[in-house]
Amino acid sequence: MKPINRRSFLAASAAMTANMTAAPALAAPVAPTVPVAKRPAAAPPVAARSNSVDVVIVGAGAAGIAAARRVAAAGRRFALLEATAMVGGRCITDTSLFGVPFDRGAHWVHMPDINPVAKLGTQTGLDIYPAPPGQRVRIGRRYAREGEMEDYLGGIVRANTAIADASRKNDLPCAQALPKDLGGWRSTIEFVLGPFGCGKDLSEISALDFTRSAERDSDLLCRQGFGALLAQLADGIPVELSNPVTRISWGARTGGVDVETARGQFQARAAIVTVSTNVLTAGKIKFTPDLPRRQLDAAAKLKLGSYDHVALELPDNPLGLRPDELVFEKSDSTRTGAIFANLSGTPLCVVEIAGGFGRDLAARGDAAMFDFALTWLTGLYGTDVAKVVKRRHATHWNDEPWALGAFSAAAPGGQPARKVLMESVNDRIWFAGEAAHESLWGTVGGAWESGQRAADAVVKSFGRKPG
């Protein structure tokens, strides 16, 4: 997800104009050179394998990695357990599919000035660079002109203002707050702010949650992939992969938590659970006794949206797009997407599908996803993309058993659920992840900061370490 600069019309307009008037200057796509990665300077000490620890951390995504680093830095023993075969959660880089880095999930490093992942990432030795500003809009088989872009951006600003104004009175669905004068840009604005920015249609999103999300108007990209960056930050931390947690017992009798896994049991004083809200509400991890209804209701109100990538290898740049260029379509329906082209100068082009349309399309399988992407691109560029595309791949995050979706967006009236999810359960269980952050939800940085907060709270609950 790359959110739009929601509130700064002039800055966005300038970026758009620059993109429209600049010469294409597309470098020939090349495979990125991967430098020898350096271990982060601030990497914490690690804990030895033990079935009796201070903290069990469930999930080795951004929140779990951040929590493990924090707990280790405090001198506490931990076990970091991951259900899948790799670290990263919903931020994973694949290099086998296309021979170049492909981020299957998160890709943009948002808000580098305040993002702890961005700050740590500069110490890894990976190639991190600024994402191009702005984006373009395709109207039929041409790009929007300057005046049309101003109309579009003006509509974005009015929509954001209307949603913010409405949220001060009542936490209604974002769709109900939209101004009536968006004209022919309405469907495009609804896609950009809803499915593309939040993974859900605006009718499913809390106006208050939308308004409280931090403005994400500057980004970095990692040439080796955001997932590769996150994996570097996990370097040196012991992780038990392919070891899903099946049950967490936290009653008074245990005096802490007993954590059952596919490969045995752990005893700990506390657990930090970083699984997605959809995994939590699906009951894939059993709790004894059951979790309080308060936490389960909060997770249900923070259900994950749908966001998938249809990745296409397009040699020789048949669409004539620049490296890392983002293009939307002026659409008149929900059957639309976004193009993210020539990732880091490679021949890889990704069509982003999201929201209700994306969810339904993904449920129909790869063939339907590829057919939409190729037909859609051909309609916009007049090129028979199907004849030149080489390798292709579609993600299916809704079907990933330990994700069951993309990222959270609160249902109307559900914004307070984020704070509820941050509460501990009897000082035994803490939850962390992108859903457990009030303003940075839906981001890797938010998940990381949430993991740090949970770890700090757990360590504080132990009191001073005996000397």
Q: Are the C-beta atoms of residues 305 and 407 closer than 8 Å to each other?
A: yes
Q: Within its chain, how far is the Cα of 298 from the centroid?
A: 20
> What is the DSSP track for 267-283?
EEEEEEE---HHHHHTT
Q: Within its chain, how far is the Cα of 47 from the centroid?
A: 29
Instruction: Give whole-number Cα distances, 124 to 5, 91, 152, 394, in Å.
Output: 28, 17, 39, 29
Question: Containing H/E element for 111?
Answer: none
Per-residue tokens: 281: 């509400």
Domains of the chain: 52-88+234-303+411-462 (3.50.50.60), 132-217+305-399 (3.90.660.10)
Listed in sequence order, the DSSP H helices in 328-403 are 355-363, 366-381, 385-388
22: exposed, middle or buried (Cβ count in 10 Å: 0-12, 13-18, 19+): exposed
Residue that has been written with the tokens 């395709």 in this structure:
138
Per-residue tokens: 295: 């936490």
d(CA 355, CA 338): 12
> What is the DSSP track for 105-124?
S---EE-TTT-HHHHHHTTS
Count of beta carbons in the 10 Å neighbourhood of residue 25: 7
Q: What is the dihedral of CA 81, 430, 48, 59, to 10 degrees?
A: 20
- 29 pLDDT tier (thresholds 50, 70, 90): very low
How does DSSP classify residue 306?
A: -
**Three-state DSSP state, 52:** strand
pTM: 0.90
pLDDT over 80 at 466, yes or no = no
pLDDT over 60 at 75, yes or no = yes
Per-residue tokens: 376: 């859609």
**Quick one: pLDDT at residue 49?**
52
Count of beta carbons in the 10 Å neighbourhood of residue 26: 15
Q: What are phi and psi of 416, to 5 degrees?
A: -60, -15
- 6 pLDDT tier (thresholds 50, 70, 90): very low
pLDDT tens-digit readout, 254-303: 679 999 999 999 999 999 999 999 999 999 999 999 999 999 999 999 99
pLDDT over 60 at 38, yes or no = no
Among 119-123, 136-140, 159-163, 184-188, the least confident range = 119-123
pLDDT tens-digit readout, 129-147: 999 988 999 999 999 999 9
Query: In sequence order, which residues have a C-beta less than 8 Å from that of residue 284 and are 6 or more positions away?
Result: 244, 275, 401, 402
- 253 pLDDT tier (thresholds 50, 70, 90): low
**Quick one: pLDDT at residue 216?**
74
- Tell me the mean pLDDT in the region 14-22: 41
Average pLDDT, whole number, for the chain?
A: 89
Taking alpha carbons only, the member of 347, 275, 318, 15 closest to residue 153 is 15
pLDDT over 90 at 31, yes or no = no
pLDDT over 60 at 418, yes or no = yes
- 118 pLDDT tier (thresholds 50, 70, 90): very high
pLDDT tens-digit readout, 211-233: 999 877 789 999 999 999 999 99
d(CA 377, CA 380): 5
d(CA 410, CA 429): 22
d(CA 68, CA 158): 43
d(CA 454, CA 463): 15
**Quick one: pLDDT at residue 384?**
84
Taking alpha carbons only, the member of 247, 270, 246, 244 closest to residue 257 is 270
pLDDT tens-digit readout, 358-370: 999 999 999 999 9
d(CA 288, CA 394): 38
Residues in the chain: 467
> What is the DSSP track for 383-437?
S-HHHH---EEE--GGG-TTT-SS-B-PPTT-TTHHHHHTS-BTTTEEE-SGGG-
**Quick one: pLDDT at residue 133?**
87
Taking alpha carbons only, the member of 140, 195, 172 closest to residue 355 is 195
Q: What are phi and psi of 111, to 5 degrees?
A: 45, 60
**Quick one: pLDDT at residue 26?**
33
